[in-house]
């Protein structure tokens, strides 16, 4: 069974595990956020690159997908 009574070392065991968990969680969150960000950006750019008429329909974002943000510096077809 789980033994969660760390006395007299609770002040050492829990911070060690807690900070480890925090740092690992931060690493994971950071990796996932960065991954999503650049994936989205790449999809947006590739959708813009595709020939306009049919492809815009094909590459249209799903209803729950991210909003397509118009690039302010990109060409206005």
Residues that bind another protein (CB under 8 A): 1-10, 12-13, 15-17, 19-20, 23-24, 26-28, 30-32, 34-35, 38-39, 41-42, 45-46, 48-49, 71, 73-75
Question: Least separation, in Å, of the C-beta of 54 and another protein?
Answer: 20
Residue 43 phi, psi (nearest 5): -60, -40
Give the nearest distance from C-beta 57 to another protein in angstroms: 21
Secondary structure (DSSP) of 29-71: HHHHHHHHHHHHHHHHHHHHHS-HHHHHHHTPPPTTSPPPPPP
| Shortest CB 23 distance to another protein, Å | 5
């Amino acid at each position: 069974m789980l033994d969660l009574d760390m006395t007299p070392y609770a002040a050492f065991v829990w911070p060690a595990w807690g900070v480890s968990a925090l740092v690992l969680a931060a690493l994971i969150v950071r990796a996932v956020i960065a991954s999503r960000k650049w994936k989205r950006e790449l999809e947006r750019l590739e959708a813009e690159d595709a020939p306009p008429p049919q492809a815009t329909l094909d590459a249209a974002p799903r209803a729950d997908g991210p909003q397509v943000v118009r690039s302010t510096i990109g060409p206005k077809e």
